[in-house]
Each structure stands twice: as C-alpha cells, then as structure tokens.
Chain A
Amino acid sequence: MLSKDRRALIEFVLDNLVWLMLVIVLAVFSLTIPQFFQIGIFANIVEQSTFVGVMAIGLGIVIIAGNMDLSVESVAALTAMVTGILFCSQGIGLGYTLTPEWLVLPVSLIIALAVGALIGATNGWLVVKLKMNAFIVTLAAYIWVRGLVVAISGGRSAQDLAPSVRFMAIETVAYIPLIAWLAIACFALFTFIMAKTPFGRHVTMIGGSPVAPFRAGIKVDRLIFITFVVAGAVSGVAGWLLAIRTSGATANLGVGMLFNAFAAVVIGGVSLKGGIGQLPGVYAGVLLLSSIHTAINLMGLPAHYTQMILGALVLAAVLIDTLKLQVRQRLA
C-alpha cells in the first residue's frame, strides 16, 4: 500500500514526465555537444518553438475535444501570405502603411486572427452542422488552403515586412525575442482557459465522452464548433509570427510543421482519443523537439536523423502514455 505522499509524487511525475524528459535531454546535450550549453542556444530553442508551439495549441485543443484538425499548417501559411502581401514592401507585397505606423501591428494581427478563424469556422460548420468527419474535412482544408496560398501568391514571395511589425523578431527581453514571448503568453492564456474555465473543463469532458456532457445540458455542438474556430484563429497567429520571423512569406512557408505539431501534441501527453491532455505538456513537447533540431544542427548530422528521432520519440511517447495508464490503474 503506497503512502499518500508517495502516491502524490508518482502522480506528479506521471503528469510532468515530458518536462523531466526535456530536462534530461538538455542536460545530456549540454554535456556532450560542444557549444550547446549557452544562453543564446537556449534562447534559440525557445524562439524556434514559437511557430509549431502556437500551432500545437489549436491542434491540442481540438484533439482534447475528441476531434482532429489537419488544416493548421495551411491556415498558418495562408495568414503568413496575407500578412506578407498586405504589409511587405518587396516581391508581391503591396506595402500598405497605416498612420500612425504602429497600427500595422494590431491590424495585421487582427486580420491574421480573422482569416484563421474564418477557415476554422468553415471546418467547424462542416463537422458540426453537416456531421462530416473532422479528419476528412480538415484534410481537405489542408489541401485547398495551401492551394489558395499558391493561387493568391502566384507562387511568388513577399518580403521586407514593415519595421513596425518586424521589430517583434528582433527586439529581445531576457535574450528571448518578443515573438517567442508572445507564444509563451498564448500558452499561459490557453492553459488558464483549459484548466480554470467552464469552457476548458467542458471541452475536456466532451473529448472524454460527448454523451455525458450532452445529457448534462452542455451545448456539445457549439463547443466543438468553437474549438475549430479557436484552432483556426491560433494557427492564424502562428502564421503571423512566421511572417514576422522570416520578414515575409513564400508559398511553401510552414511546410512540414503539421507533423511537428502533431508530434509535439502526442509527446506532450495529449491522448489522440480525446479527453486527456494539458497544454503545458504540449509546450514541453515542442521545446523537446526544438532541442533535438538544434542539437542536430550543431552536430552537423544529416537532417534525416531529425525525422528518425522524431518518429522514435512519437512512438516512445505513445508507449509511455500506455505505461502511464497502467501505472495509474494500479494506483487506483
């Protein structure tokens, strides 16, 4: 029979296993890879986690609600391109300016949020109202939204984003660029929403089993619709941040990020069956992936290793998830 304290400790470790893995990985890399252990590298890891991280928030919420959203990468690419076309001054950028100049920042963000939310609402409507399968609906969106990016850009790129927005990638606070702080703020906000508000609790309940919340009078369809809108809007922010980081947008911007976001969500402990998962774990998952990418960059290993390690990590995460469930059942 386990003591109460010991049981609490085991529960704590199980809940934060991904953070423990992150600490171990960082320690091993710091000891074995020359030049890894320095503030600049850690700041780079946090910065590189920005885009996949923000994308993973939306994806994580939809998965916790028991659904799937494959469109997040393409939505981010679309909002990056829209931001680029409107506020870049080179390439296909139209170079719109506003007076005062700082208005470009909130206006571009609002446009990105709106474009993302619109795509999310379309997905949500098709899933909720027409009862279409979320996997298929968002797979279709993944394809048609990327097609839209190519169509509106003509395959060309926009560069030289307005300095009033671009400073977000250049200015740092505590060595970390403002765009990365914004991503951290997004995680903090949505962690609070998911953990402390009725919305978050209901979404998690729906993911566990939609029948019980429905019988309890919770508006299941409405909440599922909102999760898609949130995923779209948050992906829109990811794209906006991506445009800021690269000072513009290319038609293939963000390609491959969906799979990294998925890997981060799974490694972060979100169950693909829905109803289980916490956003801080997802952020740890993103940081873990970025650490591995950075380590591979510094070691000069061929990039294929990243994909192999990524695949192995996802498998390990699912395995650990299964083990965690078994340990919890024994504790119960």
Chain B
Amino acid sequence: MKRLLRTLIGALAILGAAIASPAWAQSKGTIYYMVPTLLDEFQTESVSAIEKFLKDVGYEPVTLNADNKTDLQQSQMNDVINLKPAAIILAAVDFNALKPSIEKARAAGIPVMIFDRQITTTPSDFTSVAGTVEIGYVAAGEIERLLKEKNGDVKGKVLQVLGDPADPYTLDIQKGFEEKMKPFPGVQIISLPAMQWEASNAGTIVADQLLANPDIDLIFVHAAHLAVAAVASLEAKGKKPGDVLLVSSNGAPVGLDLIRKGWEQVEVEQPLYAQAAAIAMFADKVVNKQELKPGTYKVLGLDSTLTIETWGPNLKIPGAAITKDNIDEARFWGNMKAPTDPITPVE
C-alpha cells in the first residue's frame, strides 16, 4: 500500500512539474548569454532583448553577468561548458582573453555565438555585430559634417573622451574614428580616457580641457552616459546648448534625451534590438550546425549582410546616426520600444 502511495505521489509530482512548466517541455534547450556587465544601459537592455527573442524561437535563456571581470567570465565559460547547453552567446569582457574559452566550448561541441563585441582571432559559429570600428567610422563622418557646418571646412579642435583605456571596445571606436579623420590635418584631436567608464571622470576631463583649450569645437564621448557628465561640466562653465558640439555613441536613452534638449547633435547608435534579434533568428541553424548562407538578410527591417569570414559567419548590421531629424524612430533602442512581434527563425 505504501509503495503504491509513493508511486502515485511520484507520478503526480512529475505530472505537476510537466504541467507547471510547459516551456520546459517544449524548449529546444538552454542558451547561456554571457553579458560583460550590467552597469551599462546597453548591456542591461541587451539582456531583456536577447532573453525575449530567444524565448520567441523556443529556447530557455540564462544570463550570467561577468561584472566586467575577464577572469570571472572565463570561469563562467568553464562552468557553462560543463552544463552542455545548446549554445553560448558571448559578449566578451576582453576579446583576446576569451579566445581559449571559445575554443574549449567548440571542442566540446557547444556552438558559440558572438554578440556585439567581435572576436576575429579564433573561429566562432556566428557573430552579430554593428562593428565597433565602424561606429568610429560613422562618428567620424558625422563629425566631419558638423565641423564643416560650423567652421566652413573640416577643421577645428575635437576632444575625444574614451571609456576605460583597458577596454578594447573603446579602443576600437578610437581606431575607427582616428583612421577616418587622418585625411584632415586641420582637425586637432585631444584624446583622454574616463577611467572605468565612470561619468564624473568624464566630467572632470571636460572641465579641465575647457580651460586648457577654450577653443574646443566638438566633444566626442564614447558612451552616452559620459555625455551626461560632459554636459553637466559644460553647463557649469556657463555654456549653452550648441556652444560646443557634442557627439556620442551607443544610442542609450540618455543620449537621445540630450539630443532633444539641444546639447547633443549626433548619437551613433548600436542597433541593439537588431543585433539581438539576429542571434535568435540564426539560433536554430547554429545549434543544429547547419550551413549559413552568405547574403543579405532583413533583421527587424534593417538590411544586414552575412559574410563568411576566417572567424566564421559574420552578420554586420548597420549602425545609424541619430539626429534631431530621426530621433523618434522606434527602431532606435534608446527609445525603449522593444519590438513586440515574435522573431521568425531563418529558413
């Protein structure tokens, strides 16, 4: 009788679990998203977007935050490899340091998808990026235009406020920006890093440089939250919106607010939603180790190009320059209007 009762209870428990978690029953598997930090609005929103889109296509997303620590992300990768998930999505804290972890995961048969922070030194199964160097290119194009409008030619003094100098992300933007600005000898660029991406450090740099170089025409900051501190310093020095031009990157809500108020002219956005949607669109093919065909794909309406590079399939989604003319478009993640339509996997 006792045995019968135990069997019945056991069966009920299994049935209950099955009824209570239908998603688990239908899940195609778990995909881990290794986010580099949550102290940044882009990353925070990327978690919501990736989790939502992965659920749309039938996967169970789990996010692990590396708190901007390379060693922690390496440990997390080792742990996750042991759990044998369907795939890993990696936004690396340090592009090169994570290379052995990617190789280890792939050797264990776990596909690795790279999100946002491109890794070209080792093969991966799929990469979804706007391109950090390309963000620098877009910013340079806009800065050329702004300087020409202000000074009649592409000339003037630009203060470039980087993020943490140990972060390859900011160094890539700097590389792209300075490369595109090289043909313009009339542009003097002063580059200084805001240690640890901390806003008050950026404010301090701007305050000091406004005194040392009062003829600064334009400030280019590598993240929108740094632009807020830059504006606070401009305001404290008695500047009005437009007195010193301001360009920022990543497209965070704070940057858009500054454009609306007239303090900032351009925000170079990373197409966060499209980058995240692309991961979900290609997840089935990557998990099932199917071939990805190069070509143009529509990702949330954006024409994106998939190429097969030496490091694997690479989908590049165009970043956009946000100005006061197009600021209200819902596609910009800074407007915080995440797409509600479910994602359809690539056939």
Which residues of A approach B to under 8 Å, CB–CB? Answer: 34-35, 38, 40-41, 44, 47-48, 51, 90-91, 150, 154-157, 159-160, 169-170, 177, 242, 245-248, 250-256, 293-294, 297-298, 300, 302-304, 306
Contact B232 A154 (CB under 8 A): no
Contact B207 A246 (CB under 8 A): no
**Which residues on the A side are within 8 Å of B198 (C-beta)?**
252-256
Smallest CB gap from A252: residue in B:
B39
Cα of A155 to Cα of B211 in the assembled complex, Å: 33
Contact A91 B254 (CB under 8 A): yes
Smallest CB gap from B68: residue in A:
A252
Interface: B199 (CB within 8 A): yes
How would you classify the secondary structure of chain B's contact residues: helix, strand, loop or mixed? helix
**Which residues on the B side are within 8 Å of A154 (C-beta)?**
44
* Contact pick for A256, options B196, B232, B252, CB 8 Å: B196
Interface: B52 (CB within 8 A): no
**Which residues on the B side are within 8 Å of A177 (C-beta)?**
236
Tell me, rounded to whole Å, the shortest Cβ–Cβ distance linking A295 to chain B. 9
Smallest CB gap from A151: residue in B:
B38
**Which residues on the A side are within 8 Å of B75 (C-beta)?**
none
Interface: B192 (CB within 8 A): yes
Interface: B222 (CB within 8 A): no
Q: Considering the complex, which residues of chain B in the window 224-253 have a beta carbon less than 8 Å from any beta carbon of chain A?
A: 225, 228-229, 231-232, 235-236, 252-253
**B196, B200, B225, B229, most chain A CB atoms within 10 A:** B200
Contact B192 A251 (CB under 8 A): no
* Contact pick for B40, options A40, A155, A170, CB 8 Å: A155
Interface: B41 (CB within 8 A): yes
* Contact pick for A252, options B197, B207, B253, CB 8 Å: B197
**Which residues on the A side are within 8 Å of B43 (C-beta)?**
155
Smallest CB gap from A154: residue in B:
B44
Cα of A284 to Cα of B235 in the assembled complex, Å: 28
**A38, A177, A247, most chain B CB atoms within 10 A:** A247
Contact B192 A156 (CB under 8 A): no
Q: Considering the complex, which residues of chain B in the window 195-218 have a beta carbon less than 8 Å from any beta carbon of chain A?
A: 195-201, 203-205, 207-209, 211-213
Contact B192 A300 (CB under 8 A): yes
Cα of A267 to Cα of B205 in the assembled complex, Å: 24
Interface: B313 (CB within 8 A): no
Contact B253 A303 (CB under 8 A): no
Contact A246 B229 (CB under 8 A): yes
Contact B207 A90 (CB under 8 A): no
Could you name 23 residue pairs across A and B whose Cβ atoms are closer than 8 Å?
Answer: A47-B207, A51-B200, A90-B257, A155-B38, A159-B254, A159-B257, A170-B235, A177-B236, A242-B200, A245-B200, A246-B203, A246-B229, A247-B228, A251-B40, A252-B199, A253-B200, A255-B198, A256-B196, A297-B205, A298-B208, A298-B212, A300-B190, A303-B195
